[in-house]
Structure 1
Amino acid sequence: MTNTQYSVTGMTCGHCVASVREEVTKLAGVESVEVDLQSGLLSIASSRELSDDDVIAAVDEAGYEAAPL
């Protein structure tokens, strides 16, 4: 199991959190996704290594910006 974290900017509500979670969950190998609105922290547990580019693209698809921590 691999755990990775990203900072996400632009989220303002629960709908934002749900959108990010939905897009990141679509990535192959993702086991669980936690998004904290207050801190802007995205935590991903996956069965394989995820590329930063794939995660950033998924968050971008949801309408927000992400950066690896």
Structure 2
Amino acid sequence: MVKLRVEGMTCNHCVMAVKKALQRVPGVEKAEVSLERAEALVEGQADLEALLRAVEEEGYRAALAG
């Protein structure tokens, strides 16, 4: 599982946009996005760079959460 910090989400529409973007990345089995925690949990074998790029293409900032 990969945990991403996602910055810039302000509403549930943002959450759905990020979730859909992550689900389109090859190798993603499941994606859960939390507005309150400003994070996304992604299950599967997706490439990290592809995940980050998918979020950024939606207009948000993403980084691997430590």
Is TM > 0.5 for Structure 1 vs Structure 2? yes
Please, which runs of 5 or more residues in structure 1 have no aligned partner? none
Q: Counterpart of 2:56?
A: 60
After the TM superposition, which segments of 4 or more aligned residues of structure 1 sit over 3 Å from their partners? Answer: none
Please, which runs of 5 or more residues in structure 2 have no aligned partner? none
**In structure 1, C-alpha distance between the alignment counterparts of 2:29 and 2:20, rounded to whole Å:** 12
Q: Counterpart of 2:15?
A: 17
Query: Residue 7 of structure 1: SS of its match in structure 2?
Result: strand
Q: Counterpart of 1:6?
A: 4
Q: Counterpart of 2:43?
A: 45
CA RMSD, aligned part only? Answer: 0.8
The aligned amino acid for 1:56 is L
Shift of 1:56: 0.8
Shift of 1:51: 2.5
Q: How many residue pairs align between the two structures? A: 65
